[in-house]
Amino acid sequence: MSTTSRIDLLLSAARARLDRLSPEDAAAEVAQGAVLVDIRPAAQRAEHGEVPVALLVERNVLEWRFDATNDAALPIADDDLRVIVLCQEGYTSSLAAAALRDVGVHRATDVVGGFAAWGAAGLATRSVGERAA
């Protein structure tokens, strides 16, 4: 007997609320003013690289930084801001984007396949060392 795990159910429910984007569509939206937010931890970015145009906001503080009613919010936080969340493979980002919607960022979504798919699509990436140079 095979049952669907609770996390798979949670992930499916989160994704049902999102208009998930391919890496190419996400890049096009970023070019039009959307904000790409990389939620991966520093160690993962160091290992795999990062997207030059992405805003780095680690997952553990994401909701605080984008809840426009919170004192810890970023200056760009706005309920109407198009926030596109990026993780390594596109799983955690779905949960994170749904959480942003829960705090009022109603246009939040994520990238199908995450950073791995972004790079595989030939979109701009860099090593973390390039940023420091």
| pLDDT tens sequence across 81-125 | 999 999 999 999 999 999 999 999 999 999 999 999 999 999 999
- Six token digits for residue 81: 């801001």
By C-alpha distance, which of 9, 14, 6 is closest to 100? 14
Report the CATH number that the domain containing residue 113 is assigned in CATH: 3.40.250.10
CB distance 50 to 131 below 8 Å: yes
Please give the mean pLDDT across all residues of the chain: 96
Show Cβ contacts of residue 26 under 8 Å, excluding neighbours closer than 6 positions.
34, 36, 84, 86, 111, 118
Three-state secondary structure call for residue 13: helix
DSSP 33-78: T-EEEE---HHHHHHH-B-TT-EE--GGGHHHHH-TTSTT--TT--
Instruction: Judge whether 57 lies within some domain.
Output: yes
Position 131 confidence tier, pLDDT thresholds 50, 70, 90:
low
Residues of the chain with pLDDT > 70, as a percent, come to 97
Model pTM score = 0.94
By C-alpha distance, which of 85, 100, 96, 109 is closest to 36? 85
pLDDT at 132: 53
Give the total number of structural domains in the chain: 1
Quick: pLDDT tens for 28-59: 999 999 999 999 999 999 999 999 999 999 99
- Could you list the residue range(s) of the whole structural domain that residue 116 is in? 6-132
Give me the phi and psi of 88, to 5 degrees please: -70, -45
pLDDT at 1: 62
Residue that the structure tokens 């996400």 belong to? 26
Instruction: Judge whether 1 lies within some domain.
Output: no
